[in-house]
């Protein structure tokens, strides 16, 4: 199974631990188990964008009545599952993160870079779902013996907000708030951290809507800012509240860059701030840039 790749000659206990963490957090060690996947809307790799939008719309309506269009796991071949788990293109039934291996690898590379180059600041994810990407960030700090940085875990812990199209036109008609599967209580996320032995006072929770929590969060500096809030509103609010705290040399990771409202928020913010740092694609879904100044 071509999962996370360790090249021979580079293997250290830290890398082995982090490699195993990725396999467990993504549930890829059980890739062929019926519970490994939950694909609510027949979105297979390569589904045309227009069909994808149509399926999201229908399933959003059905979700209001608590009906999910769960696709049978049997309809995916092993190869399709490997591809889906690499690219994070499905909602997993029980994995602690949905972001897939390529975006986990990117997160690891960014955190390792700031550690290696002593870029000052904490790590944050805005939009954490079951917490897996934040658990992974805490694991990386632990693996390398960092004892100063915190991992900030920001979420409503009740799903996405209803859109405010008067303020954020790009979110008009957005249906994410209707998906119960995206509402994971704080206690469940804390319990997930505990399962890995990674819940301690260096994990800081920011519970509430981003518009309320992020502008007043008691964060001094950030080295990694990972955004995963899907909507225009959630993306722009996180950038506006937190970008100025990001150290030069630090990273902004945009999980949802393939979603047009999110990409628009990123574009609007970068234009408004004159940011020219190269936006680099991770896996066709996520993108990131390294702050130069």
DSSP notation for 32-65: TSGGG-BBTT---TT--HHHHHHHHHHHHHHHTT
- 156 in contact with ligand SAM (CB under 6 A): yes
261 part of the interface to ligand SAM, by CB under 6 A: no
| Among positions 229, 250, 261, 286, the unique one binding ligand SAM when judged by CB under 6 A | 229
Minimum CB–partner distance for residue 146 and ligand SAM (Å): 21
Instruction: Give the SS3 label for residue 184.
Output: coil
- Count of CA atoms in the C-beta half-sphere (13 A) of 80: 14
* For ligand SAM, the closer CB: 184 or 239: 184
Q: Which stretch binds ligand SAM (CB under 6 A): 61-69, 73-81, 121-129, 281-289?
A: 121-129
Cα–Cα distance for residue pair 249/252, rounded to 1 Å:
10
Question: Which residue, 204 or 249, is less far from ligand SAM as judged by CB?
Answer: 204
For ligand SAM, the binding residues in 170-209 under the rule CB under 6 A are 182, 184, 209
- 3-state SS, residue 283: coil
Give the ranges where 197-278 is alpha helix by DSSP (H): 210-213, 232-242, 260-273
Q: Does 123 bind ligand SAM (CB under 6 A)?
A: no
Angle, nearest 10°, between helix axes 186-195 and 132-143? 40
DSSP 96: S
DSSP 8-state code for residue 277: S
x/- site string to ligand SAM, residues 124 to 153, per CB under 6 A?
-x-xxx--xx--------------------
Looking at the Cβ atoms of 11 and 83, the one nearer to ligand SAM is 83
Instruction: Give whichever of 12 and 53 is closer to ligand SAM, judged by the CB atom.
Output: 53
Which one, 199 or 249, has the nearer CB to ligand SAM? 199
Q: Is the CB of 40 or the CB of 229 nearer to ligand SAM?
A: 229
For ligand SAM, give the closer residue by CB, 117 or 195. 195
100 binds ligand SAM (CB under 6 A): no
Give the residue closest to ligand SAM by C-beta.
127
List 45, 83, 120, 159, residue binding ligand SAM (CB under 6 A): 159
Sign of dihedral through CA atoms 187, 190, 196, 200?
Answer: negative
Token digits for 172?
């008009």
Long-range contacts from 199-204, C-beta under 8 angstroms, 24+ separation:
202/138, 202/141, 202/149, 202/150, 202/151, 203/134, 203/138, 203/150, 203/151, 203/153, 204/150, 204/151, 204/152, 204/153
Residues that bind ligand SAM (CB under 6 A): 97-99, 125, 127-129, 132-133, 155-156, 159-161, 182, 184, 209-210, 228-231, 233-234
């Amino acid at each position: 199974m071509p999962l996370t790749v360790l090249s021979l000659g580079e293997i250290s206990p830290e890398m082995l631990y982090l490699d195993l963490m990725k396999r467990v957090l993504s549930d890829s060690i059980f890739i062929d188990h019926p519970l490994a996947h939950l694909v609510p809307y027949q979105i297979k790799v390569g589904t045309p964008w227009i069909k994808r939008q149509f399926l999201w719309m229908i399933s959003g309506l059905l979700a209001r009545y608590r009906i999910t269009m769960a696709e049978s796991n049997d309809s995916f071949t092993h190869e399709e599952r490997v591809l889906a788990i690499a690219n994070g293109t499905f909602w997993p039934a029980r994995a602690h993160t949905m972001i897939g291996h390529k975006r986990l690898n990117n997160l690891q590379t960014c955190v390792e870079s700031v550690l290696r180059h002593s870029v000052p600041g904490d790590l944050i994810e805005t939009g954490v779902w079951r917490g897996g990407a934040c658990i992974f960030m805490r694991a990386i700090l632990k693996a390398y013996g960092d004892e100063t940085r915190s991992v900030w875990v920001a979420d409503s812990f009740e799903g996405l907000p209803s859109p405010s199209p008067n303020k954020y036109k790009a979110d008009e008609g957005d249906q994410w708030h209707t998906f119960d599967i995206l509402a994971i209580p704080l206690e469940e996320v804390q319990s997930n951290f505990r399962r890995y032995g990674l819940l301690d006072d260096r994990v800081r929770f920011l519970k509430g809507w981003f518009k309320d929590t992020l502008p007043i969060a008691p964060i001094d500096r950030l080295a990694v800012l990972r955004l995963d809030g899907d909507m225009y509103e959630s993306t722009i609010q996180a950038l506006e509240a937190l970008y100025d705290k990001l150290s030069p040399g630090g990273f902004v990771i945009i999980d949802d860059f393939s979603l047009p409202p999110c990409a628009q928020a990123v574009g609007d913010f970068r234009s408004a701030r004159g940011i020219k740092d190269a936006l680099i694609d991770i896996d066709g879904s996520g993108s990131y840039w390294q702050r130069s100044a």
